[in-house]
Amino acid sequence: MEKRTRVRFAPSPTGPLHMGGVRTALYNYLYAKQKGGDFIIRIEDTDSHRFVPGAEAYIIEALNWCGIIPDEGVDENGKVVETASARHPHAPYRQSQRRPIYRQYAEQLVAAGWAYYAFDSAEELDRRRAEAEAAKETFMYNSATRGALRNSLTLSAEEVKNLLETTTDWTIRFKMPVGRIVEMEDLIRGHVEVNTDTLDDKVLWKRADELPTYHLANIVDDHLMEITEVIRGEEWLPSLPLHYLLYEAFGWKDTMPRFAHLSLLLKPVGNGKLSKRDGDKMGFPVFPLRWKNPITEEVSRGYREDGYFPEAFVNMLAMLGWNPGDERELFTMEELVQAFSLDKVQKAGAKFNPDKAKWYNKEYLRMKTTQELTALFIPLLEGHGMKVVDCPCNALTAGARFEGFGADFKNHIFTREYVEAVVELVKERATFVADFWDIAAYLFISPEEFEAFGVKAGAGLPSKPADPNRPADPRAKVFDDSLTAPFLAKDVDKFWKEDHYEYCFELTQYISGAAFGFDDLDTYRGSMEKEQLEAAIEQYIKKEEYPMGKVMNTLRMALTGAASGLGIADILSFIGRKEFARRMGYVADRLGRK
RNA sequence: GCUCGGUUCGUAUAACGGUUAGUACUCAAGAUUCUCAAUCUUGCAAUAGGAGUUCGAUUCUCCUACCGAGUACCA
């Protein structure tokens, strides 16, 4: 019978999980699920000096957000997760809690002649390294040097016994064999060979904190946890021969897992791996979730807080260095599980492309139902001071022609149905839910500043609260470069021509079908069918005395405060005739008759 | 320096040793529209360089260049 597939993601809680780490976790997860096996999270906190509080919870929460759920491991509260699918008790999953396990294995290696005790102090070794560097050489603790260093290979048995008992800063080192070619197979890279003479005697266990180093802990835990495949970052490839040798030394060669080393995620431009700096500089997150450094209080933005959907983030990451073998690009997690294959994983590092990440989000946004998006949008609306009410059967709807479709601009109250209709209209042009507000704020608030009219150049709509975590609106550039040109504040005269006051007056009268008065700015209600409005507008703008191009822009500016936006008829069908009159009146009143 | 990996349009990638080197993102142009988007159409754009094997090389081998990782009592 085939062994049950068991893979693990083994992060070190020294900071927030980088998106490259999420990708590694994802590939592990996809592999495990495809084989119907287990995905395990093991916390590798054997470096007591670099521990960062909150990092572990962050990592778990981030994976959780992505839908990468462990079958075994710890949850965000640090509790052990062990699902029904787990056949064996492998807890605990935090290496600091497994401390008692490791020493015996390290001693076992010493007894078998695969390792030895080393008593050289860290300072002494640092000095050696510095010396070697000065002589343009590299100091290595290996077969060439260990005979001249303080260890159980050079000291007398008595001395060793004495030092082991009286001192606490010794280590156990692996005794790297001399002149052996280690032959390895990597699931992604194929056959790799390394001569052990180029390798050094790595520390396996430290007496000082009674903890193993990565190499020992890793092999022991992978063995004990019955890991079948190790899928990890490329930075581990150079230590693979050591790991092979450790399996051999322990006599676990026949159950040794298979290895797959993933290439790194690279920065979008230039050379080098993706770092936090690149994100800050180019305006994209490198972390799945927002992270606040507990010591420096420095905040790093996250994909979640930037408005990315976890499905989009996961899909984007999956496609960075892997392809399904066909031209599909959009995958649900289930589809990824089906399609995933390690031999389609790219060997070379993949440069991250922030534009593609946005594209994925846009695609996922479009796949969401209007109801889902509305639910996500409402909290943002509330953040802008809007109130959204659920029941359409109240005073708001009295007199509304659309059942349950209403908005009270004066009091900033809108029905859910109204919001849904807005979402339905703007979702095609948005990348993030937060874009809805940028695109259609004027369907919720009356513009009071008008760029084109010079009331306050550049102000447009009331600005939203500044959010340093959000990228600058790319449309702002477009707006500045092209649209503003004919509408500069100083061009008011060009824009607001002699007949425009009359035009506003007539149009408003026409639209509202009532007297044009600025006195009635009370509660607004949607009052015309869109088709009627369209016909009305159409009919009106074709009048010869008002050339369409110019007056439409004036009209748009009056209604939205900006020179771009939704169709006039769409806008009217939302804001209704009273709000229409109010906005036209506001502008006409301010600029007056020429 | 040494060791190990890697190299197809700007980016992510596709291509039994035989294709006009395909697709997506970005960018540009056009169509459409009351504007801006969206959408549709079109376009720009690549096998790092050099040898070799072969009838034929993006694909296999070697060399060079460049990129990356490792070279800790860190993971």
Which DSSP string corresponds to A364-398? Answer: HHHHS-HHHHHHHHHHHHHHTT-EEES--SSGGGT
Task: Give me the phi and psi of A296, to 5 degrees please.
Answer: -90, -10
Task: Give me the phi and psi of A46, to 5 degrees please.
Answer: -90, 0
Q: Strand B within 7 Å of which CB atoms in A 251-270?
A: 263-264, 266, 268
Rounded CA-CA distance A247/A238 in Å is 16
Determine if strand B comes within 7 Å of the CB of A206: yes
CA of A101 to C1' of B49 (A): 54
CA of A553 to C1' of B34 (A): 8
Q: Give just the sign of the alpha carbon dihedral A538, A541, A544, A550.
A: negative
Q: Strand B within 7 Å of which CB atoms in A 133-192?
A: 138-141, 169-171, 189-190, 192
Rounded CA-CA distance A63/A461 in Å is 38
What nucleotide is nearest A171 when CA is compared to C1'? B73
Q: What is the average pLDDT across A14-38? A: 96
The pTM (predicted TM-score) of the whole model is 0.88
CA of A454 to C1' of B28 (A): 33
Residue nearest B38 (alpha carbon to C1'): A429
Rounded CA-CA distance A170/A172 in Å is 7
pLDDT digits (tens, 9 = 90+) for A273-303: 898 888 888 889 999 999 999 999 999 999 9
Torsion-angle region of A311 (φ positive above 0: left; ψ -120 to 50: alpha; else: beta):
alpha
Q: What is the average pLDDT across A107-120? A: 97
Q: Which residue do the tokens 């600025």 mark? A: A518
Tokens of A589: 């009143």
CA of A480 to C1' of B36 (A): 13
Residues facing residue A115 across a β-bridge: A174
Question: A339 or A513: which carries more pLDDT confidence?
Answer: A339
Q: What is the average pLDDT across A553-568? A: 81
Rounded CA-CA distance A50/A123 in Å is 19
pLDDT digits (tens, 9 = 90+) for A125-184: 999 999 988 888 889 999 999 999 999 999 999 999 999 999 999 999 999 999 999 999
Protein-covered nucleotides of chain B (CB closer than 7 Å) are 1-8, 10-15, 22-26, 33-38, 67-75
Q: What is the average pLDDT across A373-398? A: 80
Amino acid at A61: E
Determine if strand B comes within 7 Å of the CB of A44: yes
pLDDT digits (tens, 9 = 90+) for A443-501: 998 876 665 454 433 333 333 333 444 344 333 322 222 223 333 344 556 556 667 77
3-state secondary structure of A51: coil
What ranges in A427-567 are assigned the alpha helix state H?
Answer: 435-440, 474-478, 492-495, 500-512, 530-541, 548-560
What nucleotide is nearest A239 when CA is compared to C1'? B70
Does position A64 have pLDDT exceeding 90, yes or no?
yes
What nucleotide is nearest A209 when CA is compared to C1'? B73
**Could you tell me if A43 and A225 are in contact, meaning their C-beta atoms sit under 8 angstroms apart?**
no
Rounded CA-CA distance A475/A477 in Å is 5
Find the range with the poorest average confidence among A298-302, A368-372, A561-565. A561-565
**Could you tell me if A250 and A127 are in contact, meaning their C-beta atoms sit under 8 angstroms apart?**
no
Determine if strand B comes within 7 Å of the CB of A47: yes
pLDDT band at A522 (very low <50, low <70, confident <90, very high): very low
Find the range with the poorest average confidence among A12-26, A270-284, A417-431. A270-284
Determine if strand B comes within 7 Å of the CB of A451: no
Find the range with the poorest average confidence among A15-29, A45-59, A315-329, A504-518. A504-518
Tell me the C-alpha to C-alpha distance, in Å, between residue A357 and each of A20, A227, A247, A352, A431: 14, 33, 40, 9, 10
CA of A490 to C1' of B75 (A): 61
Q: Strand B within 7 Å of which CB atoms in A 473-532?
A: 475, 478, 483
Tell me the C-alpha to C-alpha distance, in Å, between residue A594 and each of A153, A492, A495: 101, 11, 12
Average pLDDT, chain A: 83
| Percent of residues, chain A, with pLDDT higher than 90 | 61
Q: What is the average pLDDT across A513-525? A: 35
Tokens of A126: 């640092």
Cα end-to-end span (Å), chain A: 90
What nucleotide is nearest A140 when CA is compared to C1'? B71
Rounded CA-CA distance A17/A291 in Å is 9
For chain A, list the domains and their CATH numbers: 6-93+264-362 (3.40.50.620), 97-262 (3.90.800.10), 368-445 (no CATH), 474-594 (1.10.10)
Q: What is the average pLDDT across A34-38? A: 95
pLDDT at A76: 74
Amino acid at A171: T
Instruction: Quote ipTM for the complex.
Output: 0.95
Rounded CA-CA distance A96/A50 in Å is 13
Rounded CA-CA distance A151/A149 in Å is 6
What nucleotide is nearest A14 when CA is compared to C1'? B75
CA of A214 to C1' of B73 (A): 11
pLDDT at A568: 82
Does position A47 have pLDDT exceeding 90, yes or no?
no
pLDDT at A590: 67
**Could you tell me if A216 and A224 are in contact, meaning their C-beta atoms sit under 8 angstroms apart?**
no
pLDDT at A338: 96
Contacts of A155 (CB under 8 A, 6+ apart): A119, A163
